[in-house]
Amino acid sequence: MTNPTGVNGDEKNIQERDEARQAWQLINTAPQDGTEILGYGSAFYRGKRYAPGRHIAWFDQGKWWGRDPDTEAGLELTHWQPLPPSPTLSSTTANEERLQ
Q: Could you report the per-residue pLDDT of 50-84, keeping only the tens digit for each?
A: 889 999 999 999 999 998 876 677 899 999 999 98
Cβ atoms of 36 and 83 within 8 Å: the answer is yes
Is 15 contained in some domain? no
Residue 92: pLDDT band with limits 50, 70, 90: low
Query: How far apart are the C-alpha atoms of 95 and 77, rounded to whole Å?
Result: 33
Is 48 contained in some domain? yes
Is 71 contained in some domain? yes
Is 69 contained in some domain? yes
Domain total for the chain? 1
Helix (H, G, I), strand (E, B) or coil at 27: helix
- For 18-59, what is each residue's pLDDT tens digit? 666 668 999 999 999 999 999 999 988 888 888 899 999 999
